[in-house]
Amino acid sequence: MVKFRKTLLLAMASLLSIALATAAFGTDSSFVESYYSALEASISDGNTYRLGEFIDEESDFGKDTISWVIRLNRLGVSGEFDGLAVGEKVAKGDKESLKVSDRLTLSYPDERIRVFDYRREYLLENGRIVAEISDYDRSFPELSAERTKKTPLERMESSVSSVPVGRAKAPVSDSPKMTAFLPSQDGRDLKVLVRWDNPLDMAVQLAGDVLTGEELEFMMDQVPPIAEGAISMVMVKDGIPEIYGAIRPIEGINPSDAVRVVVSRISQETGDDLTLKPFDGNLKSELDPLAIIQLPDGAPELYSALWKGDGRTVLVSLSEQGLNSMLDSASGKIASLDDNTALGEWPSVHIRGWVSNELLKSELVDEDVPVYGSDPLSIEMAFFSLDNEVTGRWFSNAVDLFVDPDMELPMISLGKDLPFLGGKVLGFMAARLGRIDVDMLKDALKNEMPGENVDVALAQMTDLTGLTLEDILDLLDGRVSLVLGGRSRSPIGDVPGAYLQIEPDKKEVLTKVAEALPKIYALAPPVGLRERKISGWNVAYAMNAMASATVAVGDDRLLLGALDYEKLNEPASLPDNLKAASQPEDMAVIAFSLADIREAVKEIADMNSIFLQTDEIKDGMATFLDSTAHLDSLVIRIQSLKEGSLSVRTLN
């Protein structure tokens, strides 16, 4: 009997465990299924509001997910999740871990299909996903026997239509991107690509409420009625052999009217007389001729035609054959220009320039500018517009071509844990400097101080302070940051402080600086500045009178600036919008919390000090408050000597 009861209890416990596990799986599975359904819907219609129930939109994961959804929607891609398998939630530190496997199928407008088998671990906090760790295998749809016999070109053509077509009859996608019409351009001296997709929306987003309705309407009137477009141009020493352009006017604007408006605007801006004349050329049946744009001063004529496929897209080229080639490009008959960019997927504005090495050297030889290496010059910029952020990114290999490869460049990665102190931080700038060559610096000083004996001046500095030029260079060999924050006394009351921090890699030089400070102070004692004993600092001189001033040396840094020394050891408070502004691998960063700076300016304005009563100061503060009222932060990051980014976040 006892044995039976034990068996029964074990069975009940097992059933209970299974039931609980099943219930947990059901709950977690339902959460993931609902999340994936929301993702599919958001990709379809571009609305991301429904995702807030499942993801923390302020986390990096949330921002990346929303950005990904918007990009797919703008590309006309549809997404479908299936093959879902969901594990159980388990505690992982202060978060919950949920492992999921799924299959994601992305279908593109040109009928390309990409399939990914994902293995994911979601990290949840307060019931919402805040991070994801994942990897995937790429799956490829099975090809039919008929398809596998086709050439790559034939497969590309047939992927556009379910009906097999010959090469000469390859159709254009119903809604091609503008760059699909631009033929590939190789082996030339200079190439330029400009592509845009509703950039006015991005400008309005940045302007916020600064523009009145009338001002916004005026701005709209000054901008050609073009929603999206792409232009590529090739230049050689003797002229411009190739120009291709594809533009699509905004809804409700007749394409031929759009061409006339663009020509009229260009004429007004340049003062040149551009005219239009009709033509009836030898164009493909899918094109309707519009007009020839005649440029002044013997410049080549531009031929324009309407693509019948959508009745909206206008093609522009230097000849009738150029227009026909653009249609061949869009249909896949000839190669299209590669518009991919490593700066990000589908920017609102994309600008790319390419200059051959031969042209660079021939053009710069008279300027006595050396060109190193044999690579072409590449310059690229891209601008992205998200729900509450506008970001510009850039890349250029100019440093490889115009800087002597034997020269040691003095900037390296910032590293971790930027130091802040003394209270709330409103903004900061930081960079890490490498060792500066002594002889190079002396030569620069001699050029800046002609007639002066630099060596004698440096020797006098050493006699007076004990610091040599090498000590100064050791001090600057490290991380330097300028911080707006903390507190400073002033004639109008307490205001945000500003201080410089120098963190040399060779910490022993700080001992020499600490020994030199009393000597420097004795040379010309500033009024009000006194030596202070401050915990954690080896030597400090500071004052809090009509204004705050602090110079202090610690074990790891030199600090100087307008900062209340009594607040020196207070922990710093970094606003949420600046916490991710700097990454350890960055070379330099500039970051300002515009929202917090506005609050500080409002507090200063409320002081109503006599020092603030001039019209210039009052107007300046009012202009700043009005023009930034909708902005949250500004961050500039220099990731390397070749690339960087600028991001402006707006308030929700």
- Which pLDDT band, with edges at 50, 70 and 90, does 15 fall under? very low
Q: Report pLDDT for 173.
A: 57
**Mean pLDDT value across residues 114-132:** 89
Q: Report which listed range, 14-18, 402-406, 564-568, is most confident.
A: 564-568
Among the listed ranges 211-225, 387-401, 503-517, which one has the minimum average pLDDT value?
211-225
Q: Report pLDDT for 213.
A: 61
**Mean pLDDT value across residues 236-258:** 85
Among the listed ranges 528-542, 610-624, 636-650, which one has the minimum average pLDDT value?
610-624
Q: Strand pairing of 539-544 and 548-553?
A: antiparallel
CA distance 257 to 612: 53
Spell 179-212 as b/e; 16+ CB within 10 A means b.
bbbbbebeebbbbbbbbbbbbbebbebeeeeeee
| pLDDT over 60 (residue 141) | no
Is the distance from CB of 48 to CB of 70 less than 8 angstroms? Answer: yes
- Which pLDDT band, with edges at 50, 70 and 90, does 537 fall under? very high
Domains present along the chain, CATH in parentheses: 29-139 (3.10.450.50), 176-339 (no CATH), 411-435+477-504+559-650 (no CATH)
**Alpha helix stretches (DSSP H) within 46-151:** 60-74, 145-148
Q: Report pLDDT for 193.
A: 92
CA distance 35 to 358: 54
Q: Which residue has the higher pLDDT, 643 or 135?
A: 643
| pLDDT over 60 (residue 155) | no
Among the listed ranges 192-196, 236-240, 315-319, 619-623, which one has the minimum average pLDDT value?
236-240
Among the listed ranges 45-59, 96-110, 196-210, which one has the minimum average pLDDT value?
196-210
Digit-coded pLDDT (tens) for 270-305: 777 788 888 877 899 999 999 898 887 777 889 999
| pLDDT over 50 (residue 217) | yes
**Mean pLDDT value across residues 495-512:** 93
| pLDDT over 60 (residue 209) | yes
Neighbours of 41 (CB within 10 A): 16
Q: Which residue has the higher pLDDT, 486 or 170?
A: 486
Is the distance from CB of 602 to CB of 618 less than 8 angstroms? Answer: no
**Mean pLDDT value across residues 314-329:** 94
| pLDDT over 70 (residue 635) | yes
pTM value?
Answer: 0.68
| pLDDT over 80 (residue 163) | no
| pLDDT over 50 (residue 469) | yes
Q: Report pLDDT for 21.
A: 34
| pLDDT over 80 (residue 129) | yes
Digit-coded pLDDT (tens) for 59-113: 888 888 888 888 788 778 889 998 888 888 888 888 999 999 999 998 877 566 7
Is the distance from CB of 274 to CB of 299 less than 8 angstroms? Answer: no
* Rounded percentage of the chain residues whose pLDDT exceeds 70: 85
Among the listed ranges 100-114, 315-329, 441-455, 637-651, which one has the minimum average pLDDT value?
441-455
Q: Between the CA atoms of 150, 151, 152 and 154, what dihedral angle is there, to the nearest 10 degrees?
A: -70
- Supply the mean pLDDT for the chain: 81
Q: Report pLDDT for 263.
A: 82
**Alpha helix stretches (DSSP H) within 338-437:** 357-364, 398-402
CA distance 590 to 141: 47
Q: Report pLDDT for 457.
A: 83
Q: Report pLDDT for 169.
A: 38
- Which pLDDT band, with edges at 50, 70 and 90, does 175 fall under? low
- Which pLDDT band, with edges at 50, 70 and 90, does 220 fall under? low
- Give the chain's length: 652
Cβ partners under 8 Å of residue 565, min gap 6: 532, 534, 540, 542, 543, 544, 548, 550, 552
**Mean pLDDT value across residues 227-239:** 86
| pLDDT over 90 (residue 592) | yes
Q: Which residue has the higher pLDDT, 327 or 612?
A: 327
| pLDDT over 50 (residue 359) | yes
Q: Report pLDDT for 11.
A: 35
